[in-house]
Structure 1
Amino acid sequence: MDDRTYWDERYRDATFRLPEEPSRPLREFADALPEGRAFDVATGTGRNALFLAAAGYEVDAVDVSGVGLDEARERAAERDLDGHVDWIQADLDTYCVPESAYDVVSVSFYRALELLPDLKEALAPGGVLCYEHHLRSPEADRGPSDDRHRFRSNDLLRAVLDLTVLHYEETTRVEDGRTSAVATIVARNTGGGSQTYPRRPAE
């Protein structure tokens, strides 16, 4: 089964629901993000894309699943945001990401280490990458069942050390009685020894 068919079937399953609130790095570091254009990778049903559109961004949102994108379009129409999001059905393995085009790139729970060179090049000067994904951990009972689809410790950090790391953590979360191990990074397309940094959000 190819990825498109797999995800179309998942979204048609009434018992499968993605979170509706945006990712933690987007919520917690919203004030540190530059204005402009945003790119939401593997948007699913659009939770991050809609958050960014509501915050004033013009958003390109890509996903392989037409079923997921149909739900995202419905949500956008309900919130009068559809004119601010370009919903793009494409396989990210072959999609050509424009260079230096985006002020924010968002990736949530999609293993894309091999795509990171292209995603980093997609950042405009001063643009910010917000990325979170599952880690390999014996404590985790939420997320991919196969460790191939999880990061090892520091995989994500090492992959973006050519950017300015504003925030990085590897942590365990317990929600609804289930445990996730998650790596989160917020990194800016800048260089040099003296820079500005956002304050750590209050817990």
Structure 2
Amino acid sequence: MRVVTGNFDERSDAARSRGDAVGSDGLAPIVRSVVEGLSPGRALDVATGTGRNALALAERGWTVDAVDLSSAKLSRARERATERGMAVNWILADVDSYCLPEERYDLVTVSFFDARGRLPALIDALAPGGVLCYEHYLASAERDAGPGDRFRFDSNELLAACSDLAILYYAERRVGDEPRVTLVARNETDVPRWRPQFPSPR
């Protein structure tokens, strides 16, 4: 399924066609497509790992909070930030229990991490007009299902979970052999807020 109200897909595809799957600036194509249309503000990078998105956003003038559970990965991220002269607020914490501030972020990015249990808090963390950019894997077809599928979204699950936001872009498609889902959504303050309840990962 695909819902599109912007040209994020075209810009992402153009980046891939240039051999820019991640990009010389370090941003994933969909994140780059989003930030090209935004003025720098405050961003949250969820499960940042070694800080690829966080550092690229900081280089573009964003004030970035980056959260991850791995001290080793954050140490590498800090080293990379020092090498590049970038300032990022690295937060060593478990995303599943980290206390997110409300209405703080103009951009929240989640790349290939199962944050479905924290989606209500991530949505609440968006400032008015703030944008959520989420890319993750989809569960395999039932005949191919494996144990890792419990950390992946079912078809339309992410779309339904974010239905209280204004959906700017939504797509489910295969990238190579992997089924993926991509969502870009904005916090429109005049839309009534709905808070889904999420079961524990299957």
For residue 145 of structure 1, report the CA deviation from its aligned partner.
5.4
Choose from 33, 38, 42 the match for 1:28: 33
**Corresponding residue number in structure 1 for 2:183:** 185
- On the 8 A contact 2:50/2:76 being kept in 1, the answer is yes
Deviations 1:66-105 (A, max 9, x none): 0000111111111110x2x100100112110000111000
Deviations 1:117-172 (A, max 9, x none): 00000000000000000001249x9xx85110111000110011101111100010
- The aligned amino acid for 1:65 is S
Distance in 2 between the 1:171 and 1:80 partners? 37
**Corresponding residue number in structure 1 for 2:120:** 117
Instruction: Count the aligned residue pairs.
Output: 166
Q: TM-score normalised to the size of structure 1?
A: 0.76
For residue 32 of structure 1, report the CA deviation from its aligned partner.
2.3
Q: Following superposition of structure 1 onto structure 2, how do residues 138-157 of structure 1 map, counting pairs within 5 Å?
A: 138=141, 146-157=148-159
Please list every run of 5 or more consecutive structure 2 residues that lacks an aligned counterpart in the other structure. Answer: 1-21, 192-202
Distance in 2 between the 1:43 and 1:126 partners? 23
- On the 8 A contact 1:45/1:71 being kept in 2, the answer is yes
**Corresponding residue number in structure 2 for 1:137:** 140
Choose from 79, 82, 90 the match for 1:77: 82
Q: Following superposition of structure 1 onto structure 2, how do residues 3-82 of structure 1 map, counting pairs within 5 Å?
A: 21-81=26-86
Q: TM-score normalised to the size of structure 2?
A: 0.77
RMSD: 2.0
Does 1:164 pair with 2:166? yes
Please list every run of 5 or more consecutive structure 1 residues that lacks an aligned counterpart in the other structure. Answer: 1-18, 194-203
| SS of corresponding position for 1:93 | coil
**Corresponding residue number in structure 2 for 1:200:** none
- On the 8 A contact 2:129/2:186 being kept in 1, the answer is yes
**Corresponding residue number in structure 1 for 2:105:** 102
Question: Aligned pair in 2 of structure 1 residues 79, 145: CA closer, same or farther (>3 Å)?
Answer: farther
Choose from 148, 173, 176 the match for 2:175: 173
- The aligned amino acid for 1:167 is Y
| SS of corresponding position for 1:60 | strand
Of stretches 21-30 and 106-115 in structure 1, the one that deviates more from structure 2 is 21-30
Distance in 2 between the 1:34 and 1:129 partners? 15
